[in-house]
Amino acid sequence: MGLNCGIVGLPNVGKSTIFSALSSAPAEAANYPFCTIEPNVGIVAVPDERLDRIVSLIPTKKVIPAIVEFVDIAGLVAGASKGEGLGNRFLASIREVGALIHVVRCFEDPDIIHVSNRIDPASDIETINIELALADLETVDKRYQKLSKNTRVDKEAAKQAAVVLPILERLLEALGNGKAARSLTLNEAETKLLYDLHLITLKPMIYVCNIDEQGIVSENEHVAAVRKIAQAEDAQVVVICGKIESEIAVLETAEERKEFLQALGLAESGLNRLIRCGYDALGLRTFFTAGADEDRAWTFHAGDKAPQAAGVIHTDFERGFIRAEVYHCNDLFTYGSEQKVREAGKFRIEGKEYEVQDGDVMHFRFNV
């Protein structure tokens, strides 16, 4: 799975506005469909108050947060799976990302054209989901036809097909009914067998409700409709006012941004929630290293063991891994210093089989 999140949706729902605020680098945005043609890519720092607290307790020369990549993919329209609009290029871009962020327009504004000339989040979501399902249906059907033919001439291929074909048959039925591949809740072994198909609808989905300023005070019926759909799909929902987020993005200091949010009665930026949500959906977690020269957040995959985490820093660390010296950041926050963490018996030595936990503070010993 790719280590990035693709922002999708119908034209003129606010994708490029949200992307620009995310990356603080302007993506082309205009009041007509297909303004975004080539995907825009933004590298975004992952907001993590734990890193801030570590810095306050272990002062350092340099602070480096974890990062995640967002890709702004041009708007899809009905018929995209058959090449309508710029469908083929868009779908190819979507296949390369690891998770989908579906921006849904949940605000009324007569000055901003809607591709269907009406605000109907349920219909918008259905349009996109059907197009993605149809694109996957074509991919699965091609594989199904190929495997079915191979079973007639090759015994080894027949053995493999006996395992894969039933899964493909289930997929064909679901996708043919406009349902996502993830709705089948495939197990890990089944998912691995389908990896090379790069199915779009097998990717995690996050729905982003793009609201207006009034929606901050109370959620409207459009947001409620999205939440209902997301609940049925076991998908996550993040509510954002793209216009406000774009205003926050141009403020120069953290203090200015904090004051702006407080004036609106908000605890934090909606984009911060979206970034963390996307990071989590990709199966990414964070461990920390801390010292006088650098306090840093490092990204690893959930389930990685200590040598793999060490390899994130440098391949030599993984190749020559000896042990990891570990404590959890919560222990640092409780006791106030690494020395006191040691004195409390919370400092541990872990070997090659240790499964790294989100929030671990680690120091690796290696020899090459």
Q: Which domains does the chain have, with CATH numbers?
A: 4-281 (3.40.50.300), 303-366 (3.10.20.30)
- What mean pLDDT do residues 299-315 have? 96
Q: Is pLDDT above 70 for 112?
A: no
Average pLDDT over residues 143-166: 80
CB 50 within 8 A of CB 43: no
Average pLDDT over residues 126-135: 89
Residue-level pLDDT at 313: 96
CB 206, CB 100: distance < 8 Å? yes
User: What is the rounded distance in angstroms from the CA atom of residue 142 to the CA atom of residue 357?
Assistant: 41
Give the containing element (helix H, strand E) for 41. Answer: strand 40-45
Chain centroid to CA 363: 28
DSSP per position, 8-30: E-STTSSHHHHHHHHHTSPPP--
**Which position has the token pair 């043919």?**
176
pLDDT of residue 27: 39
Tens digits of residue pLDDT in 221-259: 999 999 999 998 889 999 999 989 988 888 888 888 889
Structure tokens at 255: 């203090």
Q: Are 305 and 353 within 8 A, CB to CB?
A: yes
Residue with tokens 């947001």: 223
Long-range contacts of 82-88 (CB under 8 A, 24+ apart): 82/134, 85/33, 85/34, 86/34, 86/37, 87/131
Q: Which pTM does this prediction carry?
A: 0.84
Task: Report the pLDDT value the prediction gives residue 108, as an integer from 0 to 100.
Answer: 80
Query: Which residue would you say has higher pLDDT here, 60 or 253?
Result: 60
Local structure of 217: helix, strand or coil: helix
Give the least confident one: 90-94, 182-186, 318-322. Answer: 90-94
Q: Is the pLDDT of residue 80 over 50?
A: no
Q: Are 185 and 177 in contact (CB under 8 A)?
A: no
Q: Is 268 helix (H, G, I), strand (E, B) or coil?
A: coil
CA 137 to centroid of chain Cα atoms: 23
Pick 32 or 337 by higher pLDDT.
Answer: 337
Answer yes or no: are the C-beta atoms of 365 and 323 closer than 8 Å: yes
The total of other beta-carbon atoms located within 10 Å of residue 253's CB is: 8
Q: Could you report the per-residue pLDDT of 13-53, keeping only the tens digit for each?
A: 888 888 888 877 443 333 333 334 355 788 889 999 999 99
H or E element that contains 239: strand 236-240
Give dist(CA 180, CA 178) in Å, integer: 7
How far apart are the C-alpha atoms of 217 and 195, rounded to whole Å? 43
> Which tokens hold the place of 326?
């570990």
